[in-house]
């Protein structure tokens, strides 16, 4: 690849992270090196265990626990900011073909990170890597710079019937 493109997966439907992981697996099959950085979420998810099975995928978690039903706490801001600083320094030292910033949209929505810094950093990274950005509520700035934008729409979900998240399916 001479230049990377920016993929944006958003919407209230299920499948944003799963789509990103699918691209990561495809990239592994092509011999590429991947960085999967997850913001906001910090609890153990089955996807983490799956990604650890691929030495070509470097997994970094920059969240504590999911705060869907509450406001973020100071430690959530610190985790996201420390994580983004780590990524900016870490990526300079490594050559990743694909960089996934999972739940970056949520981190921006809750203002855990500054949009201007994220956009300027993404513009530098895309010069040599394909970028995948996921999460609900993408800011307009990311919509404008993306080369591909897929929105997952929820038409119905079994959560509405009281079904709780199931290991291996939702987490």
In this prediction, residue 68 carries a pLDDT of 66
In whole angstroms, give the CA distance from residue 126 to residue 116. Answer: 16
pLDDT band at 133 (very low <50, low <70, confident <90, very high): very high
Q: What percent of the chain has pLDDT over 70?
A: 96
What's the whole-model pTM score?
Answer: 0.90
- Token pair, residue 141, equals 């700035």
pLDDT band at 2 (very low <50, low <70, confident <90, very high): low
3-state secondary structure of 53: coil
Considering only residues 167 and 79, tell me which one the structure prediction assigns the higher pLDDT.
79
Chain segment 20-36, per-residue pLDDT in tens? 999 999 999 999 999 99
Chain segment 96-119, per-residue pLDDT in tens? 999 999 999 999 999 999 999 999
In whole angstroms, give the CA distance from residue 119 to residue 4. Answer: 14
Centre a 10 Å sphere on the Cβ of residue 75 and count the other Cβ atoms it contains. 12
Q: Share the mean pLDDT of the chain.
A: 92
In this prediction, residue 1 carries a pLDDT of 54
In this prediction, residue 166 carries a pLDDT of 82
Is the domain defined by 6-154 classed in CATH 3.40.30.10? no
Q: What percent of the chain has pLDDT over 90?
A: 71
In this prediction, residue 91 carries a pLDDT of 86
- Token pair, residue 9, equals 């997966």
In sequence order, what are the residues at sequence separation of 6 or more whose Cβ sits closer than 8 angstroms to the Cβ of residue 48?
Answer: 38, 59, 61
Residue 100 is classified by DSSP as: E
Tell me: pLDDT of 161 over 90.
no
Backbone phi and psi for residue 34, each to the nearest 5 degrees, phi listed first: -125, 140
**CA-CA distances (angstroms) from residue 94 to 35, 107, 143, 171?**
10, 24, 27, 29
Least confident of 16-25, 26-35, 60-69, 126-135: 60-69
Domain boundaries, the chain: 6-154
Considering only residues 165 and 54, tell me which one the structure prediction assigns the higher pLDDT.
54
Q: What is the mean pLDDT of residues 82-102?
A: 91
């Amino acid at each position: 690849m001479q230049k990377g493109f920016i993929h944006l997966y958003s919407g209230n439907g299920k499948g944003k992270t799963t789509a990103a992981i699918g691209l990561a697996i495809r990239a592994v099959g092509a011999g590429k090196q991947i960085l999967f950085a997850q913001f906001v979420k910090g609890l153990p998810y089955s996807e983490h265990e799956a990604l650890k099975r691929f030495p070509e995928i470097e997994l970094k978690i920059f969240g504590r626990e999911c705060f869907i039903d509450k406001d973020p706490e100071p430690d959530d801001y610190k985790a996201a900011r420390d994580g983004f600083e780590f990524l900016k320094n870490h990526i300079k030292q490594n050559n990743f073909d694909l960089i996934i910033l999972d739940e970056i949209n949520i981190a921006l929505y809750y203002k855990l990170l500054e949009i201007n810094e994220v956009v300027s950093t993404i513009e530098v990274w895309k010069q040599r890597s394909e970028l995948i950005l996921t999460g609900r509520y993408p800011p307009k700035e990311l919509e404008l710079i993306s080369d591909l934008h897929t929105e997952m729409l929820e038409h119905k979900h079994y959560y509405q019937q009281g079904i709780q998240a199931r290991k291996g399916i939702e987490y």
